[in-house]
Amino acid sequence: MQSKGTQSMAKDEADLAKSIIQAAVSVAKAVSAKALFAYVHAIDDLEALQAAVKGSTKLYLVARDATDQQRAKGISAELLTVPAFDLTRMGQIKMATIIAFSQRLLQQGDVFVFLSGAVGRGIDTLVTMRVGEEYELFQSVGQPKLTEHIRRAVFEKVLRIALELAHEGREGKPIGALFVIGDHRDTEKFCLPGRINPFKGYTEKERNILDDSIDESIKEIAKLDGAFVIKGNGVIIAACMTLRPALAGEQLPQGLGARHAAAAAITASTKSIAITLSESTGDVRVWRRGEMITELEKSTRGLLDGATTPRVP
């Protein structure tokens, strides 16, 4: 049986959530937002959200696991699935945004509203953003086009693997990793092979990163030193490669080391995209044209164990 104090707190939280939803809908109307995104785990009353948004803008529910997907059934909204990785609030928003962009749900210049919150704490964050040029990963505006098409599914799969590695690590300890996608011919010019290429001798079908059956092998190989070089269609050219790019990238933020410098430099030297996993922090970063364009900061709570168990920081 709940105490009066507990009941009062629950009512206050429900009132706060209702106010935030109403504010989000008002903002979406005021800025003519393309869409309103909401993490399922942060919304206690999805029906109330649906009713509030109805007719004003397109609603996307962001689901991280099967529990979220089950809760979203019956709600008139599009479903966007993302890895069940416990990022900071802004990390959650940036991850969902970049996945939505990779699936063509958002385009450069679109304005959208986002609702999120800490797991087990309810909705507490409202953000309005415009999709900037940094998200135009696959066909640059005002810049040379990529020399080969990078499939959006390939980019998203590599991002998901990097996020999973950020949580899983190696024997409970963080690992670092570097994936270079696209422009593989030029990228190979700046590569020094390691002692062994684990993918040599396999057919292209057997070494395509879109094949879920090789995910665990990729994660094990990622624990070794060196970079993955991946074609735009997902075929893994090589792993354990040392990069020696011709150009340097932009000046790195303080605290980023050799792996990030290599990612900046290879994307400055080639028309590729790089994804790095930091060994020291577990943060995942995306690089393009020599610059870091997205940083997904890992929360101290790590990956959720299946669904929605509340965690206290």
The model's pLDDT over 96-153, given as tens digits with 9 standing for 90+, comes to: 888 888 788 888 889 999 998 876 677 888 999 888 755 555 443 333 444 456 888 8
Provide the β-strand partners of residue 128.
113
Domain ranges in the chain are 4-135, 152-299
Q: Which residue in the block uniquely carries the two structure tokens 């109307």?
A: 29
Mean pLDDT taken over the chain: 82
Least confident of 45-59, 67-81, 122-136: 122-136
Query: Given the DSSP bridges, would you call strands 284-288 and 236-243 parallel, antiparallel or unpaired?
Result: unpaired
Task: Please state which CATH class domain 4-135 belongs to.
Answer: alpha beta
Q: Which CATH superfamily is domain 152-299 in?
A: DNA integrity scanning protein, DisA, N-terminal domain (3.40.1700.10)
Residue 147, pLDDT score: 45
Q: How far apart (Å, rounded) are the C-alpha atoms in residues 228 and 250? A: 22
pTM metric for this prediction: 0.77
Query: Given the DSSP bridges, would you call strands 227-230 and 177-181 parallel, antiparallel or unpaired?
Result: parallel
Q: How far apart (Å, rounded) are the C-alpha atoms in residues 268 and 288? A: 7
Q: How far apart (Å, rounded) are the C-alpha atoms in residues 85 and 95? A: 10
Q: Quick one: what percent of the chain has pLDDT higher than 90?
A: 38
Residue 304, pLDDT score: 42
H or E, element range at 228: strand 227-230
Q: How far apart (Å, rounded) are the C-alpha atoms in residues 195 and 184? A: 20
pLDDT value at 9 more than 70? no
Helix (H, G, I), strand (E, B) or coil at 40: helix
* pLDDT per position as a tens digit, 239-270: 999 988 766 656 666 667 888 999 999 999 99
pLDDT value at 8 more than 60? no
Max CA pair span of the chain? 69
Helices (H), 115-254: 152-168, 184-189, 215-222
The arithmetic mean of pLDDT across residues 289-294, rounded, is 86
pLDDT value at 298 more than 80? no
